[in-house]
Amino acid sequence: MMFEYAVLFLSLIVLGISLAFNFVSLLGTMWSMRESINDTINFMIKLPNWLNYYNNLKNDTNTLHMKTTRLTRKAHDIRSEASAAEHQTLRQVKAEVRNWLENVQTVDNQVKDILEQAGRDMNIFVDFFYRAWLGIVHVDKKLQQVEQLLDTGTSLQTAPLISNVRLELPYLTSNLIGSEAFGNIKKVLEFIKSDRISCIGVHGAQGTGKTEIVKHIYNRILVNTNVYYVQIRENITNHELSSMIALTLGLELAEEDEGRRPDFLYRALRSKGKFVLILDGLIRDFRLIEVGIPVHSNGGKLIFTTRSPNVLRRMQSQETIELQPLSEDEAHELFRKEVQVSEYDSEEMEGVAHRILQQCGNVPGVIIRIADMLRREHDIHVWWNTLNELQQHL
């Protein structure tokens, strides 16, 4: 008899330990899946419905799986449509569309975890509480989220998916010309990183490669920086400059707000945090505050190009890169490459080429333009005529 009591007592101890371990395991699983204290409160409030959630968990998870599948298919359609529109218009997908797609992906991953949890085999003593918790706290809540995302997706499909903001595409550039070009780009990139520099001027005569330099810089920093490039038209007003910068940002400045245009542009640029604004081809100077350009050492930075020393001085650039003509050897190498001759046909042609380069001032842009006219041309009279025209016009 004592032996039977001992066996019964040991069995009760083992059963208690088993229940304790399973209960702790249940609490650990529930705790790992928690989202807020409100979930626990909601679970306790629905105590009278625990049995319903326990019995209906399979049907509820099937419904959740079905609706999530519908949601992911809708997301696939919207993503495909938005991607096609993006390539056709070269405009960015709206932020609300991108956020919705990200939310769908997040919810889809969460639903997969829930379905995996629902398929687990649990000890009979804790299965009831665990499945009731799963149904109330996770399945029910996730069903509501999925339904909201489905409704939002339907609304998105009835409106344009593309914004007014252009895609951040790199510029097509030519090979850099001259031994100093790479060094100049390196200097500008170092200036951009510096906390003490906010305004950088790139100065040089027409054809020295200012535009190519700043386009290469744009492409270098595009991935990790909010960078905006604006090519300036001649005789541009402050009003027009504000409009061009706003267009680059995808910002609509209503005409009725014309008087406050600089304020809106200033606020939009400040919201970008650290940014680089490139103004290519300034003909005249202007006050930044009158256009709405915020520059400060550890935030917004301005890079501008100009031919005018006066503009360079009046814009108060803290650092200046001055582009110089090519060396004689670099100019001859560039000319031969563009004319596409490895050797001149005669000493006379070589002499004409030398005089042409003198007229070009070893400026790469001018050299390329003249070389295009003489490409694969072997008639020496054409070379002399080209030289005479240069002497008259340059």
- Residue linked to tokens 């919810």: 107
Residue 196 lies inside a defined structural domain of this protein: yes
CA 332 from chain centre, in angstroms, equals: 41
The verdict on 347 and 269 lying in the same domain is no
Average pLDDT over the chain, rounded to whole? 80
- If one counts the domains in the chain, the total is 3
For Cα atoms 279, 283, 233, give the angle at the middle one, nearest 5 degrees.
65
Where b means 16+ CB within 10 Å and e means fewer, 12-41 reads: eeeeeeeeeebeeebeebbeebeeeeebee
In a shared domain, residues 33 and 114:
yes
* Cβ-contact 199, 316 below 8 angstroms: yes
User: What DSSP designation does 135 have?
Assistant: I
Tens-binned pLDDT, residue by residue, of the chain (394 aa):
544 444 344 444 434 444 444 444 545 544 444 455 455 545 444 444 444 444 555 677 788 889 889 999 999 999 999 888 887 877 788 889 999 999 999 989 988 877 776 656 554 444 444 555 554 446 777 788 889 999 999 998 888 888 776 667 888 888 888 889 999 999 999 999 998 899 999 999 999 999 999 999 999 999 888 999 999 988 889 888 988 898 888 777 665 566 788 888 898 898 888 899 999 999 999 999 899 999 875 678 999 999 999 999 999 899 999 999 999 999 999 999 999 887 788 889 989 999 999 999 999 999 999 999 999 888 899 999 998 988 887 6
Same domain for 278 and 205: yes
Give the 3-state secondary structure of residue 212.
helix
The DSSP letter of residue 316 is T
CB–CB of 98/178 below 8 Å?
Answer: no
If asked whether residues 316 and 343 sit together in one domain, one would say no
Q: Is the pTM value of this prediction over 0.75?
A: no
CA distance 3 to 1: 5
Q: Cα–Cα–Cα angle for 194, 198, 204, nearest 5°? A: 100
Q: Hey, what are 110's tokens?
A: 């969460």
Q: What is residue 119's predicted lDDT score, i.e. its pLDDT?
A: 58
The pLDDT of residue 9: 43
Q: Is residue 126 part of a domain?
A: yes
- 218 lies in the same domain as 336: no
Measured CA to CA in angstroms, residue 259 lies from 270, 290, 294 at distances of 19, 11, 18
Dihedral of CA atoms 147, 152, 158, 159 in degrees, nearest 10, equals -170
- DSSP-H helix ranges across the chain: 2-32, 37-45, 50-89, 95-118, 124-133, 140-157, 181-193, 210-221, 238-249, 261-270, 288-291, 309-314, 328-339, 347-360, 364-374, 380-393
Same domain, 123 and 103: yes
pLDDT at 281: 95
- 331-388: pLDDT as tens digits: 999 999 999 887 788 889 989 999 999 999 999 999 999 999 999 888 899 999 998 9
Residues 129 and 63 in one domain: yes
Rounded to an integer, what distance in angstroms lies between the CA atom of residue 161 and that of residue 187? 40
**Residue % of the chain over a pLDDT of 90:** 40
Domain that holds residue 210: 181-322
Domain assignment present for 246? yes
Domain match, 43 and 142 both: yes
Residue carrying the six token digits 């510029």: 171
Instruction: For residue 382, give both structure tokens.
Output: 């054409």
The answer to the question of residue 130 being in a domain is yes
Domain end call among 268, 295, 322? 322
| Selection from 107, 111, 228, 233 nearest residue 171 by Cα | 228
Q: Following CA atoms 305, 309, 310, 314 in sequence, which dihedral angle do they give, to the nearest 10 degrees?
A: 60
User: Is 9 part of a structural domain of the chain?
Assistant: no
Instruction: List the 199-203 sheet strands across, edge first.
Output: 226-231, 275-282, 301-306, 199-203, 319-322
pLDDT tens sequence across 214-260: 999 999 999 888 999 999 988 889 888 988 898 888 777 665 566 78
Of 270, 292, 322, which residue is a domain's last?
322
The strand pairing partners of 201, in sequence order, are: 304, 320
| Residue 157 placed within a domain | yes
For position 376, what pLDDT does the model report?
87
User: 206: domain CATH number?
Assistant: 3.40.50.300
Is the same domain home to 273 and 136? no
- CA 289 to each of CA 226, 237, 259, 292, 390: distance values in angstroms, whole numbers, following the listed order: 20, 14, 13, 5, 43
Q: What local confidence, expressed as pLDDT, does residue 307 receive?
A: 94
Residues 310, 376, single domain; the answer is no
Same domain as 162, residue 35 = yes
d(CA 299, CA 198): 8
What pLDDT score was predicted for residue 299? 77
Look up residue 203 and give its two tokens: 């100065």
Same domain? 151 vs 253: no
Whole-number Å distance between alpha carbons of 190 and 187:
5
For residue 221, how many other CB atoms are within 10 A of its CB? 16
